[in-house]
Amino acid sequence: MKLNQIINLHKGLTPFVVLGLMAIYDNFSIPAWIYLSLHGTYGILWLLKEKLFPDPYFKDEMGFLTSITGFIFLGSYWVAPFILISSQKLIPNFIIAGCVSIYIIGVFLHFASDSQKYFTLKLKKELITEGFFKYSRNTNYLGEILIYLSFAILSMNIIPFIILLIFFIIVFYPRMIKKDKSLKKYEGFDEYKANSGLILPKFNE
């Protein structure tokens, strides 16, 4: 299987996994429905993104065992809904509102910046220093982290935060460093790097 197929399978199954958890634990509370809405729509948006502006870096072929391991690794993102739904937690309204806000900002940054990158590079292979990438070299990763941060907060448990940190260390950070190394070939990269943040926006006077 290819890496994108494993990711797509995980994203596509997410709404059904969350619904299954709700049925198993007979939890159809507002927090459970909110979680389904957030994480479920993220999976749908990801599949739409794959059709409209796919990431070429996720086309790597993977062996059977590697594919299974990768899917299980991605499955750790389902720990958050499991904790939330199985524990029957009542989440304060201000926490729910905050999570929805963080999620919306994350979706905006993630998908809009990926779209800019895809269509810009399709026209011309060049250093992208404007728009979503003017102040942060990895706005798409920032958006994705905010999305999963909203899920972790909604679970009201430290374990999803630890899982997100592990993903950042193992997946996100190495990819950002690799991207920086690949961009060195473009003229003006050193100046761009000095005036932008690796992931958090760097605003200059």
- Give tens-digit pLDDT for 167-205: 999 999 999 999 999 999 999 999 999 999 999 999 875
Q: What's CA 152's distance to the chain center, in Å? A: 12
* pLDDT at residue 205 in the model: 57
31-47 pLDDT tens trace: 999 999 999 999 999 99
- Cβ pair 113, 140 in contact under 8 A: yes
What average pLDDT does the segment 121-138 reach? 94
Give the H/E segment covering residue 145: helix 139-155
- Cβ pair 13, 42 in contact under 8 A: no
DSSP state of 197: B
- Cβ pair 87, 158 in contact under 8 A: no
What average pLDDT does the segment 106-129 reach? 95
Q: What tokens were used for 136?
A: 């942060």
* pLDDT at residue 59 in the model: 72
Q: What tokens were used for 11?
A: 């994203």
Q: Which of these, 9, 79, 17, 20, lies nearest to 46 by C-alpha position?
A: 9
Q: What tokens were used for 164?
A: 């997100």
23 confidence band (pLDDT: 50, 70, 90): very high
- Cβ pair 105, 147 in contact under 8 A: no
